């Protein structure tokens, strides 16, 4: 089995949330488990059981907790489960932007955000802008200026400006806005 992608599912109330047999082809990152709710499975809460010897990519999931020790305890076998969602996205009622991960970062940071159905006016998209500024307020990069439907989304920032030039080590501000919401978070870029 190749090219498998589990995205946006609620996996709960099973003996095991997800089971990956030892003969499943999970090579070259073709088996990806992202943006799912995986919790409340069995008495010991086994969210993911990988009997394979290769790592499975299972980042950006909600495991029923924000405690890394509890998440690790719910996973058997080689699984790359971090970064993970810090809160249950089904409870989000407004535009949510998580801090870039990792932060500080050297090569690339992932910025996750959630556009709720109510704010996106049902099935109509909502304009989302993600812009990076330097510490003195100059715009250095527009990461996104697009219409987005409700759901979890992510963008990557590679530490370059709008022209593709590598930016210097320092603090940068991520401005995230919609027509009805605005927030700013700090990201730290560390060059070698």
Domain range summary for the chain, segments of one domain joined by +: 5-80, 92-189
> What is the sign, positive or negative, of the torsion defined by CA atoms of 25, 26, 32, 33?
positive
Return the H-helix or E-strand segment holding 70.
Answer: helix 68-73
Which two tokens mark 27?
């090579």
Ramachandran angles phi, psi of 73, nearest 5°: -70, -20
Which pLDDT value is given to residue 92? 66
Which pLDDT value is given to residue 90? 66
Which pLDDT value is given to residue 161? 97
CATH architecture of 92-189: Sandwich (2.60)
pLDDT tens string for the chain (192 positions)? 445 677 767 787 777 888 888 887 766 556 778 777 887 776 556 788 888 888 888 887 888 888 889 888 888 888 888 888 877 766 666 777 877 888 899 999 989 888 876 544 555 778 899 999 999 999 999 999 999 877 778 899 999 999 999 999 999 999 999 887 888 999 999 987
Which pLDDT value is given to residue 37? 80
Which pLDDT value is given to residue 28? 56
Taking Cα atoms as reference points, which of 74, 71, 12, 73 lies closest to residue 41? Answer: 12
Residue 131 near residue 175, CB atoms below 8 Å: yes
């Amino acid at each position: 089995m190749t090219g498998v992608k589990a995205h946006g599912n609620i996996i709960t109330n099973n003996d095991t949330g997800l089971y990956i047999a030892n003969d499943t082809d999970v090579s070259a990152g073709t088996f990806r488990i992202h943006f799912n709710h995986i919790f409340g499975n069995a008495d010991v809460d086994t969210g993911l059981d990988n009997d394979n010897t290769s790592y499975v990519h299972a980042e950006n999931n909600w495991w029923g907790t924000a405690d890394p020790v509890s998440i690790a305890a719910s996973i058997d076998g080689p699984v790359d489960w971090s970064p993970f969602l810090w809160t249950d996205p089904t409870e989000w009622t407004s535009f949510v932007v998580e801090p870039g991960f990792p932060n500080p970062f050297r090569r690339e940071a992932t910025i996750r955000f959630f556009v709720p159905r109510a704010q996106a006016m049902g099935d109509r998209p909502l304009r989302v802008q993600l812009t990076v500024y330097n510490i003195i307020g100059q715009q250095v990069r527009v990461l996104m200026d697009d219409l987005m439907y409700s759901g979890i989304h992510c963008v990557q920032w590679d530490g370059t400006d709008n022209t593709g030039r590598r930016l210097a080590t320092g603090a940068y501000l991520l401005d995230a806005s919609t027509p009805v919401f605005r927030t700013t978070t700090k990201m730290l870029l560390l060059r070698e």
